[in-house]
Structure 1
Amino acid sequence: MKKYEYKVINATTIGFWKPKLETNVVTEEMNKLGQDGWELVSVMDTSVGYGQTNEILLFFKREARF
């Protein structure tokens, strides 16, 4: 039976009135994880009210190496 390990990355938005996500930084981090065998399996945003996102959680998994 396969065993997996998991990792959660927190991508925080920048700015108060119009929060933005630095997508180039997130993309770079995701590419590094992908090269190390991690696969993105889910994404969840955390709402701070009125539909505004404060941070985005990215969930990764890979086959366990232990």
Structure 2
Amino acid sequence: MINTYEYKTIKFDRKGVFKSKFNPDEELNKLGAEGWKVISSFTAGVGVGSSDEVFYTLMREK
């Protein structure tokens, strides 16, 4: 049997992660309960040393 997977990429804006009451852990825990697993993350931003966005790539078995 061959396992097949589906993938999802989500983005959290810095203003959402660091400057408001939005809790990325809550969202990731909800997705985990649906079978999603984080397989990578990276930041992107404007300028040296800034990280305005955090991206997570998730995977789950179909």
Report TM bin, short chain: 0.7 to 0.9
* Distance in 2 separating the partners of 1:5 and 1:11: 20
TM-score, structure 1 normalization: 0.80
Equivalent residue, structure 1, for 2:4: 3
**Partner residue of 2:60?**
62
Q: Which has the higher strand share?
A: 1
Q: TM-score, normalised by structure 2?
A: 0.84
Structure 1 contact 13–22 (Cα < 8 Å) conserved: no
What is the alpha-carbon distance in structure 1 between the residues aligned to residue 58 and residue 10 of structure 2?
Answer: 8
Matches within 5 A, 1:43-62: 43-62=41-60
> What percentage of aligned pairs have identical amino acids?
33
**Moved >4 Å (runs of 4+):** 21-24
From the superposition, tell whether residues 48 and 42 of structure 1 become closer, same or farther in structure 2 (CA, over 3 Å).
same
Say which structure is richer in helix: 2
Q: Number of matched residues?
A: 61
Q: Gaps spanning 5+ residues in structure 1: where?
A: none
For structure 2, the 5+ residue unaligned runs are: none
Work out the CA distance in 2 between the residues paired with 1:4 and 1:21.
34
